[in-house]
Homo-oligomer: A and B are copies of this chain.
């Protein structure tokens, strides 16, 4: 039976004792898929205003050039790199999701382990092992308190992400069990982040901090900065302060037998998930047809589609992420549904605006939230019927490796010819072979 005083120690023991050989091949592969997705979303987010401002501010306090900022020519210190890359990855809500907790798992963990591994010139499989363990620890800690913790206003990616970053960085730093408990304690007392900030740059602050502070937690523990023996389940610890009635068995039962990273979903499009099956249909059709000939589009889906996204009149890129009319119109015009299709510019494009007015939404209880049907009527009066039973990126139809590569290529295309997506993609797939992390990161910036 699990005693309350065993929680942190059990996690620490698991992190310290798990070896690369203990990780099943599908888990290793999923970790590389998560990193592929990470580079895609970080490339998509690295030139947004929250990242620009944070970089400008941090640069006033250090001119260290230890680590890469994904997608940017600037180099910064290790802690700032962790912050900035986490902010980039999460800023568009385009990153991966652990559905049972709603944690976006890679945004806090990958930047922490990448920055440390780049700095210390570690190997790809050391990186992957640390990343997998960090991912597991944050998911486990979050499972015990889901969904009440998030519902209360806690931004769970941030509050649990700091543990994932600490665990991953602690593994890379080869902490012993005692130090790992300290690292998790240092993380616990830095756990923060409020859902009230969603939709504003302030959100990026807690996500960035989760990576930065988790990493720092491990580095401090490495230097002997100690803490309490049971920061998670102790009387005045994390679970007492930030949760109601946590189920602690979910934290430790079956550790090492199942892997939460296998339950990660990757989004193909940077917009509300209920719109995704609609976009699958529209993009499929658009591959073989010009936009100009569309006279009318009728979209049918689960009532939630209309409730959340029946929004024909919008004026900003942010609103466009929850407008099915816009998503359909922009996809018809450009044949794509990437970051560029959900910007202010796209919203104000006269061609997109004209098509938005020709999209109507119908409710149908017969559809699940991952299904949709689309009827496109062309100028010649012809009606094209399309349907999607399970959206790409949903748990029953996960984005495949090619889909993840495409997602990365689409993000990288924003640099015109300045980015070598092919080499970065190869380096991510090769991570468990001979690649080292500095080499990988050198490919994550424009030429």
- Chain B residue with the shortest CB-CB distance to A155: B189
Total interface residues on A, using CB and 8 Å?
Answer: 64
- Chain B residue with the shortest CB-CB distance to A206: B189
CB pair B196–A237 under 8 Å, yes or no, is yes
> Given known contacts A62-B62, A182-B202, is B220 in contact with A53 (CB within 8 Å)?
yes
Which residues of B are found within 8 Å of A60, using beta-carbon distances? 78
- The segment out of A224-232, A344-352, A422-430 that lies at the interface is A224-232
CB of A188 within 8 A of chain B? yes
What 0/1 pattern do residues 218 to 240 of A give for CB contact below 8 A with B?
01100111111011001111101
Which residues of B are found within 8 Å of A53, using beta-carbon distances? 220, 223-225
> Given known contacts A77-B62, A196-B236, A241-B153, is B201 in contact with A189 (CB within 8 Å)?
no
What's the Cα separation between A203 and B220 when bound, in Å? 13
Which residues of B are found within 8 Å of A63, using beta-carbon distances? 62, 64
Q: How far is the CB of A219 from chain B (nearest CB, A)?
A: 6
> Given known contacts A57-B223, A63-B64, A78-B61, is B188 in contact with A237 (CB within 8 Å)?
no
CB pair A203–B189 under 8 Å, yes or no, is yes
> Given known contacts A236-B196, A241-B194, is B228 in contact with A202 (CB within 8 Å)?
yes
CB of A50 within 8 A of chain B? yes
CB pair A237–B185 under 8 Å, yes or no, is no
CB pair B196–A153 under 8 Å, yes or no, is no
What 0/1 pattern do residues 61 to 99 of A give for CB contact below 8 A with B?
111101000000000011110000000000000000000
What's the Cα separation between A216 and B201 when bound, in Å? 14
Which residues of B are found within 8 Å of A242, using beta-carbon distances? 241
CB pair A225–B196 under 8 Å, yes or no, is no
- Chain B residue with the shortest CB-CB distance to A150: B236
CB pair A152–B241 under 8 Å, yes or no, is yes
Binding site for B on A (CB under 8 A): 49-50, 53-54, 56-57, 60-64, 66, 77-80, 152-155, 158, 182, 185-186, 188-203, 205-206, 209, 213, 216-217, 219-220, 223-228, 230-231, 234-238, 240-242
- Chain B residue with the shortest CB-CB distance to A152: B241
What's the Cα separation between A235 and B196 when bound, in Å? 7
CB pair A200–B185 under 8 Å, yes or no, is yes
Which residues of B are found within 8 Å of A223, using beta-carbon distances? 53, 56-57
Q: Name 19 A/B residue pairs within 8 A (Cβ), A-sorted.
A: A53-B223, A57-B219, A61-B77, A61-B79, A61-B80, A62-B64, A153-B237, A185-B197, A186-B202, A188-B194, A189-B196, A189-B206, A192-B192, A194-B238, A194-B241, A196-B231, A196-B234, A202-B225, A209-B213
CB pair B155–A194 under 8 Å, yes or no, is no
CB pair B185–A189 under 8 Å, yes or no, is no
Query: Which one of B50, B230, B240 lies within 8 Å of A152 (CB-CB)?
Result: B240
Q: How far is the CB of A187 from chain B (nearest CB, A)?
A: 9
